[in-house]
Amino acid sequence: MNRRHRQRDLEERASIEELDALLIGNLTNVRYLCGFTGSSGALALCRGQWAFFTDGRYTKQAEMQVRGASIHIGSGPPTILAAGWIAERGKRNTARVGVEAEYTTLAIIDRIRSELRSLAPRCRYRLVPTTAIVEQLRVRKDASEVAQIRKAVRLASGVFPSLLKSIHSGIAENEVAAELEYLARRAGAERMSFETIVASGPNSALPHARPTRRKIGRGFVVLDYGVILGGYCSDMTRTIWVGRANKRAARLYSAVLEAQLAGIDAVRAGVEAQAVDAAARDVLRKYKLDKYFTHSLGHGVGLEIHEAPRLAKGQTQRLEAGMVVTIEPGVYIPGSGGVRIEDMVLVTENGCKVLTPTPKELIVR
């Protein structure tokens, strides 16, 4: 894990934005930059020096995990401790201190401001909101991250065959979800990466359905789930058919699969995110199903289940090698049923590698 490399990249961004100091309070970003996984911590960068702040509960853990930063234990919110440290290092008349715009609340900024004022009353600090300053680094995964994501993906795919065995006509959606989460835990998952979706029959037409007490009967069952392993998320969807098969259902499924394969085919470094979405959408248009594809094609996955980039209409961000994204077209016929098929892929210079090993032929049970 090359924490030092990540820290250098961020130092460069900070210098481009002419920041004298930078405060990182978003715990996912803190973890990414220094390795700390606890529930309370903050990082500060000030003129090339890195410092990490947490409270007494995490003394031992910080010593074991934190790399590339001095460790400071104190009481109170770690972000405020970090502001105090920056104030003590204030040497100039004015200093530009970067804060994370998407993370820092009005309540926190207020406390940061008074901490700086009270500890360094003669220095005029300017708090500068930064936009996705760490998140834009996290978009391209390094080798250790890809390895960890692969492990999470394999764990989730690994429990799929046993999950399938548990599904039969008459079992409730929430029983299937319980079964799945039990299998994932037993296989070593830290936890699920989002609320598991088990959506049967008409519920399969709701992209964000929660498992209900509905008994599974003849029809589609959408299974959308992921696990967290070593902090990294996986995300996959398979749709199966329960009961006597039916030509119309098979045609619907095969259209979505064709769209999914077209999406995967369109992935390559340099391509605009919206072009990948369009490639899948065009296939569904051919079958007059595009109006039932009501969400975007995919999203980045990493330490968080939803990260940049978004593969959606209007997204002109270009894909880069090292991005990890989902490709998940779906078709939802209101009141009837729906199909979604989702893999995770790693963007490469010339295309992509599909990370999810689970087969995609329609399974009938």
Q: Is 118 in the site for its own copies (CB under 8 A)?
A: no
Half-sphere exposure for 311 (CA within 13 Å, toward CB): 31
Distance between alpha carbon 114 and the CA centroid of its chain, in Å?
Answer: 34
Cβ proximity to its own copies, 204 vs 356, nearer residue: 204
| Rounded distance between C-alpha atoms, residue 226 and residue 237, angstroms | 9
Among 24, 62, 99, 273, binds its own copies (CB under 8 A): 99
Q: Is 313 in the site for its own copies (CB under 8 A)?
A: no
Q: How far is CA 324 from CA 131, 296, 300, in A?
A: 21, 16, 6
Residue located via tokens 């770690």: 78
Site stretch for its own copies (CB under 8 A), options 88-96, 157-165, 187-195, 236-244: 187-195
Half-sphere exposure for 213 (CA within 13 Å, toward CB): 0
Sheet containing 49-54, strands listed edge to edge, beginning at the edge strand earlier in sequence: 70-73, 49-54, 42-46, 21-24, 94-100, 124-130
Site string for its own copies, 57-86 (x = CB under 8 A): x-----------------------------
The helix (H) or strand (E) run that includes residue 337 is strand 337-340
| Rounded distance between C-alpha atoms, residue 66 and residue 225, angstroms | 31
Q: Is 106 in the site for its own copies (CB under 8 A)?
A: yes
Task: Write down the least CB distance from residue 160 to its own copies, Å.
Answer: 17
Q: Is 109 in the site for its own copies (CB under 8 A)?
A: yes
Cβ proximity to its own copies, 271 vs 333, nearer residue: 333
Q: Is 16 in the site for its own copies (CB under 8 A)?
A: no
Cβ proximity to its own copies, 207 vs 243, nearer residue: 207
Q: Is 131 in the site for its own copies (CB under 8 A)?
A: yes
What number of chain residues touch its own copies (CB under 8 A)? Answer: 34
Q: Is 107 in the site for its own copies (CB under 8 A)?
A: yes
Contact 345, 355 (CB under 8 A): yes
Task: Write down the least CB distance from residue 86 to its own copies, Å.
Answer: 17
Question: CA 235, 239, 242, 246: dihedral to nearest 10 degrees?
Answer: 180
Neighbours of 93 (CB within 10 A): 8
Among 178, 305, 321, 333, binds its own copies (CB under 8 A): 178
Site stretch for its own copies (CB under 8 A), options 114-122, 179-187, 259-267, 350-358: 179-187
Distance between alpha carbon 202 and the CA centroid of its chain, in Å?
Answer: 28
Q: Is 248 in the site for its own copies (CB under 8 A)?
A: no
Give contact residues for its own copies (rule: CB under 8 A).
39, 56-57, 99, 101-107, 109-110, 129, 131, 174-175, 177-179, 181-182, 185-186, 188, 190-191, 195, 207-208, 210, 213, 294-295
